[in-house]
């Protein structure tokens, strides 16, 4: 990601980096968790089908939750 935090003004780059770290800090509980604490199914069948046996909970530093978010991102 060569453009991340490396384009536009210095102030804009700093805001972009700060926003990224703020989001990661929020999603991971201040860097304590890499997965959702509640690993529910998070399946809304009215918007997209859900794969049998799959759970759509957040994982990683930028957590996606719900099947429709996985669909849109994937």
The two structure tokens encoding residue 68: 């429709």
Identify whether 36 is a catalytic site residue: no
Residues 50 and 28 in one domain: no
Segment 5-33, tens digit of pLDDT: 999 999 999 999 999 999 999 999 999 99
**Residues 71, 44 within the same domain:** yes
Q: Which domain does 64 fall in, by range?
A: 33-74
Active-site residue (options: 27, 35, 36, 72): 27
Does residue 24 share a domain with residue 49? no
Backbone angles phi, psi at 59, to 5 degrees: -140, 145
Q: Which two tokens stand for residue 4?
A: 């991340």
* Closest to 27 in 3D by CA, of 39, 38, 35: 35
pLDDT in tens, 30-46: 999 999 998 889 999 99
CATH of residue 37's domain is 3.30.20.10
pTM: 0.71
């Amino acid at each position: 990601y060569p453009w991340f935090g490396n384009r536009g003004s210095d102030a804009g780059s700093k805001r972009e980096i700060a926003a990224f770290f703020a989001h990661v800090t929020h999603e991971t509980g201040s860097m304590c968790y890499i997965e959702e604490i509640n690993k529910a199914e998070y399946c809304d069948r009215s918007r997209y089908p859900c794969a049998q046996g799959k759970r759509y909970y957040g994982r990683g530093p930028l957590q996606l939750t719900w099947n429709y978010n996985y669909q849109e991102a994937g």
